[in-house]
Structure 1
Amino acid sequence: MKRLTITISVLAFSFSVKAQQAVVSTGGVDSASGGSLSYTIGQVVYESNTTSNGQVSEGVQQPYEIYDVTGVRDVVEMKGVELYPNPARDNLTIEIDHKTA
């Protein structure tokens, strides 16, 4: 009886286990001092659905765009608001009427 219960439990659990799987030609991870990059090449199936509420993409890896802002050229004067330093790298200080955030 105990063996039957264990067998049924294992079978029931195996039907509920899910995992991602993809057949790709190659892939890997490259690292440098500025960060790391993982990639896959040759993904056969890829689908993207876009609506007015947003976008959903299926696949192993999703694109992620990184922008490097080096400074602000057009500055609109706002009285009581200060942003510094410009250009900012890791931290940006915002002062509104001399209250720092």
Structure 2
Amino acid sequence: MIKTTLVACLLCATQLIYSQQTIPASGGEATGSGGTSSYSVGQLAYSTNTGSNGSITQGVQQSIELFTLSNPELTVLTLTAVTYPNPTTDYIVLALKNSNLTDLSYAMYDLQGRIVSKGIVQQENTAIAMQKLVTGVYVLKVNQNNQALKSFKIIKK
């Protein structure tokens, strides 16, 4: 009986234990003329608070980077994607530096491989609307004559 009561008490006691949700890999504090901010690297959870003067995202690992996934066989091609702001909320601009390319198109895919947006590139700077897309990560593929030239990782906030 004592053994059963002890096991029951230990099982119930584990319900009251609080622990870290994540284990950050690194961290520190940044100081500037506008104030100080502490940071850490490795936490996946974050939240955004919006007010009349702007918004702030608190958390550690925030998705604010843009990675270029490229085809290693194509060394002559120079394509870049620029997002304003990064991560984007409204649109991205596909800026071409090599203007002698013709018959270019784009297709944007979600992480399940479904096409969520596609179109034809007709000028050096092509705006691609992202207002109706849900928050997440997308892959933008630039094609020439239905052959993929370059891919970009786009983050929608």
TM-score normalized with structure 2 length: 0.24
TM-score normalized with structure 1 length: 0.34
> Which protein is bigger by CA-based radius of gyration?
1
Higher strand share: 2
